[in-house]
Structure formats: C-alpha cells, structure tokens
Chains A and B, each alone.
Chain A
C-alpha cells in the first residue's frame, strides 16, 4: 500500500519535472534524437510506474516480494508494513482498481478510435495526391515522390509504408536542384524515421490522459524535435546553403506581409540553430545520451518512492518510540 502510494507520488513528480528538463535540453541544442528518446522514455516510465503504483494499491501484498522492499531496512520496514489495516485502505484499494481499469480502458479506446480515424485520413489524402500528382520517375526507393501542378511552393510528406512525399511545380520553379534535394531529404527523413507515427502516438496519449502534464506537453515538443531531426538529415545530405534556399523559398513566398516577416525570422533562427546543433553526433554519444536520460527517468520514480518510504519509516519508528 505504502509502496504503491510512493510510486504514484514518484510518477507524479516525474510527469511534472520531465517536461521542464526536456525543454531545457532542447533549448541547449542537445541532439534532437536524444531529446526525442528522452520524451519516449519519460512517457514509458510514467505509464509503467503509474500502473505499477496502482497495482500495488490494489494488491498490497505484492510489494513485499519486490526489491523495493529490500531497499528499505528491515526494522523500519516492519513499522510501515505493520501499520494497521483500516477500512480506508480497502476503499483506496478499490478506488485504485477503478482508476487503473478506467485508465487502461480509456487508453485502449482512444488508441483504437484515433488509429482508425488516422488510417482513413491517410488513405483519403493518399488517394487525393496520387490522383492529382505525377510520380517522379527519377525518385529512388522508399516513399514515392509526387509532383502537384500548383504555383505555390509547398512540400509535405504523408506517413506510413511506403508513405508519400509531395512537392509542387511552384517549388521547382523557385529552387535550384540542390534546394529541391534538401526538401526531399528532409521529407524522406520524416517518412523513414516514422515521425508521423511518433507524433500521432504522443497526440493520442495527450488526448487519452490529458491530466498528465508530461503528456499534454509532449505533442508540441515532439513536433519541434522531429523537424530538427529532419533538418539535420537534410543539411548532412545537401549542405546548409541548399537548406537555407529551400526554407526561404517555401516560407517566404505567397504569404501575407507580416506572416512573411515572421517566416523569414523563423527561417533565420532555424538555420542558426542548425549551425549550433548540426554537428553530426557520433553513435556513441547518442547512445550515452539516451542511456543517461533513460536511466534518470526510469530510476527517479523508484528513487523518489524509496526516499519517501525511508522518511516515512523513520517517522513511524520515531512515533512508535515516543509512545
């Protein structure tokens, strides 16, 4: 019971602290792949420990067979485990069961419903662009490249396997070959990295469990980071000049004056950010970064739970001694 409560407290702590930590990392121009891994690990950690905490509330006996039990010294632990069983505890147990089941049910329902709606939307959009677009015969393997006949310079990608990359004639007119290559490399990075699915998953979590701060903060942050991942991939493939030309062509033209100014500003910022962040990170530093973040987020709920348990046990022992 106590272990369950502490795990839940630890989970709440991480779900509030993790978004701040991850946003700070993003501001320091940390490799976006590491930041994305951090969001994913934090989400898995919060879901896992939250569920575990609720299970411990439902079945308090479980806690006595876990390593958490051994983290707490014997005599202190007895003070906690020997706490009297009140009716209140049983009520909390039933409540926890209700919350756990309701949460799981909601998660399943939203996942299924959103997943189905998403598949339908992808299919209709693919239908539309396939009918309107002319496939590029020179495109390599992977997602097909489709050209739309429109004067406005637009580029986007649709997720899935194989997915699709859609560009307009207007883009080709405004951009030299290398710029178009940079746009294609950027969009290919989205499709290859399954960024659409990643964004869809975090948006699903935010819709299913909107009371968890970590989940409501995730969609916007993940969107930003996947754009940076794709940018870095494009810069590596085609160089920063091609990327600059591409960004200016897509955001600069056809927009109203004030939107244009803002877009120019944003492009400039995005490019300068790239200059800071695009140092190709080595696989080793990437792994270390992911590992460190993962360990931190996985262990914080447990550590918080253990710490709180120890404090509580000391207090209980002290109270027992005074009496």
Chain B
C-alpha cells in the first residue's frame, strides 16, 4: 500500500515537471532511469490518480493524455487550507506545532506562571 503511494507521488512529480500533457508511455520513460516499471503499472497508477481527481485526461488518438488538475503550489495551498481549517472541531488526526491558541489555553498558561511572573 505504501509502495503504491510512493509511485503515485513519483508520477505526479513527472506530470508537474512538464508543461504539456503526457501519455502513459512518456511517463514511463521519465520514470525509467530510476525504476523499472511495467506499462500496465503506470497505467493503473494514472487511472487511480484520475479517479481521485488529481489529474484530468483526454483521448488523443488511441491513448490518453494526462495533465495535473492544477499546479503543485495551487493544490498544496488548497490542501493546506483543507487540512488546517478543520479548527472548528479540532482534528485529532492532526496535531499542529502551533495553532491559534484559545483563550482558555492562554489562561491556563498565565495561571501556571504565578502572579509574580505576570507582566
């Protein structure tokens, strides 16, 4: 399962590095120097990415042309907003290094310092 995730990331990397849409064969060629993959493997990965909404595709002759739905920066910005905006019911799945601190937390910290430390 983890291997497949890595592969998806590698394929997205290739697509993001190219301005023009790519065929399965071209993605395979780009990945080839670093890893040996079957054509069908790359096809399956691209199909998965399409199903998950990461890439769009259009038929060109007999093969699909794949391109990312948006630039890496744009998708990252969107994903970060989705990941961090769950502050309404603070998500137990995610622990932030520093989210906006609640009044209550500030009060706890202030009390912890004792009166002599208060400024």
- A residues with a Cβ closer than 8 A to B are 23, 26-29, 118, 121-122, 125-133, 148-150, 152, 154-159, 168, 183, 186-187, 190, 195-196, 199-200, 203, 220, 223-224, 226-227, 230, 246-247, 250-251, 255, 259, 262-263, 265-267, 269-270, 272-273, 276-277
Provide the residues of chain A in CB contact with B90, threshold 8 Å. Answer: 223
- B residues with a Cβ closer than 8 A to A are 5-6, 8-9, 12, 52, 54, 72-73, 75-77, 79-80, 83-84, 90-98, 100-101, 104-106, 108-113, 117
Provide the residues of chain A in CB contact with B95, threshold 8 Å. Answer: 156-157, 159, 187, 190, 195-196, 199, 226-227, 230
Provide the residues of chain A in CB contact with B76, threshold 8 Å. Answer: 132, 148-150
Contact between A155 and B97, CB atoms less than 8 A apart: yes
Contact between B100 and A131, CB atoms less than 8 A apart: no
Contact between A186 and B5, CB atoms less than 8 A apart: no
Q: Whose C-beta in chain B lies nearest to the C-beta of A167?
A: B97
Contact between B80 and A276, CB atoms less than 8 A apart: no
- Whole-angstrom distance between the alpha carbons of A276 and B110 in the complex? 12
Contact between A155 and B75, CB atoms less than 8 A apart: no
- Whole-angstrom distance between the alpha carbons of A84 and B26 in the complex? 88
Provide the residues of chain B in CB contact with A129, threshold 8 Å. Answer: 79, 83
Main secondary structure on B side of the interface with A = helix
Contact between B100 and A273, CB atoms less than 8 A apart: no
Answer whether A156 and B97 are a contact pair too, CB < 8 Å, given A131-B8, A150-B76, A269-B106: yes
- Whole-angstrom distance between the alpha carbons of A168 and B84 in the complex? 13
Answer whether A196 and B92 are a contact pair too, CB < 8 Å, given A187-B97, A255-B100: yes
- Whole-angstrom distance between the alpha carbons of A122 and B117 in the complex? 41
- Whole-angstrom distance between the alpha carbons of A150 and B91 in the complex? 21
Contact between B5 and A262, CB atoms less than 8 A apart: no
User: Can you list 8 A-B pairs with a CB-CB distance of less than 8 A?
Assistant: A131-B5, A148-B79, A149-B72, A156-B94, A195-B95, A250-B97, A269-B110, A269-B113
- Whole-angstrom distance between the alpha carbons of A246 and B83 in the complex? 21
Answer whether A149 and B117 are a contact pair too, CB < 8 Å, given A130-B8, A158-B94, A251-B98: no
Contact between A121 and B5, CB atoms less than 8 A apart: no
- Whole-angstrom distance between the alpha carbons of A150 and B84 in the complex? 13
A-B contact count (CB 8 A): 128
Contact between B109 and A266, CB atoms less than 8 A apart: yes
Between B100, B104, B109, B110, the greatest number of chain A beta carbons within 10 A of the residue's beta carbon is seen for B109
Residue of B5, B97, B108, B110 touching A224 (CB-CB under 8 A): B108
Provide the residues of chain B in CB contact with A196, threshold 8 Å. Answer: 92-95
10 residue pairs, one from A and one from B, having the closest CB atoms = A266-B101, A155-B97, A269-B109, A200-B92, A27-B111, A199-B92, A250-B98, A251-B98, A156-B96, A29-B112
Provide the residues of chain B in CB contact with A128, threshold 8 Å. Answer: 79, 83
Provide the residues of chain B in CB contact with A227, threshold 8 Å. Answer: 95
Residue of B77, B91, B113 touching A272 (CB-CB under 8 A): B113
Q: Whose C-beta in chain B lies nearest to the C-beta of A267?
A: B98
- Whole-angstrom distance between the alpha carbons of A29 and B109 in the complex? 9
Contact between A263 and B80, CB atoms less than 8 A apart: no
Residue of A28, A200, A220, A251 touching B104 (CB-CB under 8 A): A220
Answer whether A203 and B83 are a contact pair too, CB < 8 Å, given A224-B105, A273-B109: no
Q: State the Cβ distance, A134 to closest chain B Cβ, in Å.
A: 8
- Whole-angstrom distance between the alpha carbons of A125 and B75 in the complex? 13
- Whole-angstrom distance between the alpha carbons of A19 and B80 in the complex? 35
Contact between B98 and A247, CB atoms less than 8 A apart: yes
Provide the residues of chain A in CB contact with B108, threshold 8 Å. Answer: 23, 26-27, 224
Provide the residues of chain A in CB contact with B117, threshold 8 Å. Answer: 272, 276
Between A27, A126, A203, A230, the greatest number of chain B beta carbons within 10 A of the residue's beta carbon is seen for A27
Provide the residues of chain B in CB contact with A200, threshold 8 Å. Answer: 92-93
Contact between A159 and B93, CB atoms less than 8 A apart: yes
Q: State the Cβ distance, B31 to closest chain A Cβ, in Å.
A: 15
Q: State the Cβ distance, A236 to closest chain B Cβ, in Å.
A: 16
- Whole-angstrom distance between the alpha carbons of A267 and B109 in the complex? 10
Q: State the Cβ distance, A13 to closest chain B Cβ, in Å.
A: 24
